[in-house]
Amino acid sequence: MDDFLLGARLLLLLSIANLAPILLFRLSGRRPGLRLDGGLDFFDRRPLLGPSKTVRGVAAAVAASALVSPLLGFAMYLGAIVGVYSMLGDALSSFCKRRLGIPASAKATGLDQIPEALVPLLVVADSLSLSPVQIAAVTLAFFVLEIPTSRLFYRMGLRDQPY
């Protein structure tokens, strides 16, 4: 039961890290933020990351994760780490999507979900004594639950796409 509760708490923390940038974007009146990639293109002449990856989004993820983490039984620094590395996983996904010629905000099942959960879980695995099975289970749960959650947020007007 303890493993299940730890997994559920981590899943909630990952979800908060990934929802915070979307909520802050809506609260800011959908104004574009400072792009993480500075608007630079890669060698293939495609954007490095794309316009939706912003400094504001990373800051929102880190702050929200850090602030909520004590409520979930984690240290604030651990929540901040989860926020940073979740956004790093998200940026990695964007980088790969651009290299594959997939436009920003286009659907890429798996690539859109897995790095956002897997990267931070691998980083905090030792601190939380996570087993490979726990990491895989939380990542799989994040993947499975993110799709219906995205559809719900789309219906609520929080997301521009239902994925």
Say if 143 falls within a structural domain. yes
Does residue 11 fall inside a structural domain? yes
Q: Is 104 inside a domain boundary?
A: yes
- Mean pLDDT (the chain) is 94
Within a domain: 163: no
Question: What's the total number of domains in the chain?
Answer: 1
Asked if residue 161 is part of any domain, the answer here is: no
Q: What is the pTM of this model?
A: 0.93
pLDDT at res. 41:
95
Query: Is residue 120 situated within a structural domain?
Result: yes
Whole domain around residue 60: which residue ranges?
A: 2-155
Q: Which residues lie below 8 Å from residue 21, measured CB to CB, with a gap of 6+?
A: 54, 56, 57, 58, 60, 61, 87
- Predicted local distance difference test score (pLDDT) of residue 1: 64
Q: Low-confidence residues of the chain, pLDDT below 70?
A: 1
Residue 23 belongs to some domain of the structure:
yes
Structural domain includes residue 160 = no
- State the Cα–Cα distance between residues 101 and 161, nearest whole angstrom: 19
Can you state the percent helix, strand and coil of the chain, rounding each to 5? 65, 0, 30
